[in-house]
Amino acid sequence: EVQLVESGGGLVQPGRSLRLSCTASGFTFGDFALAWVRQAPGKGPEWVALKRNRAYAETTEYAASVRGRFTITRDSSKTIAYLQMSNLESEDTALYYCARAIPAIVGYHFDYWGQGTPVTVTS
Amino acid sequence: EIVMTQSPATLSVSPGEGVTLSCWASQSISANLAWYQQEPGQAPRLLIYDASTRATGIPARFSGSGSGTDFTLTISSLQSEDFAVYYCQHYHSWPLTFGGGTKVEIK
């Protein structure tokens, strides 16, 4: 059974940093891309970042709103993906989901999701 | 950026009835479209990908159609567990974007 379990969320002040973790199990970690998708309260999902699998050199993509502030990484030995978030803004407040990503010609859709970890940015 | 628009925002439907949800892309996305269902307090669940292919374990009452800019999700006979919010997402280019959602509520 595919499982994705996020952790690391919490309350943080603007300008500070936070690292989220996504522990994966039930599938061959290195064969799949992984993504972070966030959802602000009462809003639709917003894709944040994606890291391709080893077949695609583990390259990354970022939404414009987080590029330069967020970094997605993965540790295949631990089957964990991370989202390092820095210089956080109030607009980053959301529930952050980890999702397994399935490739198309260019982009990806998401076939399995974790339950999310909340991030609240407030002074 | 491709903007995904869903209509209507809310649909009131009786159990057992059928319903069709719409999703439009601001430019052609071929068939690079997925539909997700989100129940309250839950993560989104993949229903449909490639515009019309049901994901693993999704009942046959869910069907998707469309290509280019206009897409629909049809639920043929609403069950109690189908009352939820539905989102479309394109994956034709970067950035990946979602629609604003359609809430299907009990009439």
Looking at residue B47, what is its pLDDT?
A: 98
For residue B47, the distance in angstroms to the closest alpha carbon of chain A comes to 9
- Best CA proximity match to A81, nearest among A14, A10, A8, A24: A24
Residues of B with CB under 8 A from a CB of A: 32, 34, 36, 42-46, 49-50, 55-56, 87, 89-101
CB contact under 8 A, A110 and B46: yes
pLDDT per position as a tens digit, B44-97: 999 999 999 999 999 999 999 999 999 999 999 999 999 999 999 999 999 999
- The contacts of residue B7 (CB under 8 Å, 6+ apart) are B22, B24, B102
Look at residue A120 in the predicted model and tell me its pLDDT: 98
* pLDDT the model gives residue A15: 98
| Contact check, Cβ <8 Å, B87/A116 | no
Show residues of chain B in contact with A117, CB under 8 Å.
Answer: none
pLDDT at site A13: 98
Residues in B closer than 8 angstroms to A104, CB to CB, are 32, 50, 91-92
Q: By the CB < 8 Å criterion, does A111 face chain B?
A: yes
Closest CA–CA distance from residue B54 to any residue of chain A (Å): 11
Q: What is the arithmetic mean of pLDDT over B25-36?
A: 98
Which residue in chain B has the smallest CA separation from A100?
Answer: B46
- pLDDT for the residue B48: 98
pLDDT digits (tens), chain A, 123 positions: 999 999 999 999 999 999 999 999 999 999 999 999 999 999 999 999 999 999 999 999 999 999 999 999 999 999 999 999 999 999 999 999 999 999 998 899 999 999 999 999 999
- What number of other Cβ atoms are within 10 A of residue B88's Cβ? 32
Q: Retrieve residue A69's tokens.
A: 């502030």
Residue pair B85/B102 in contact by the 8 Å Cβ criterion:
yes
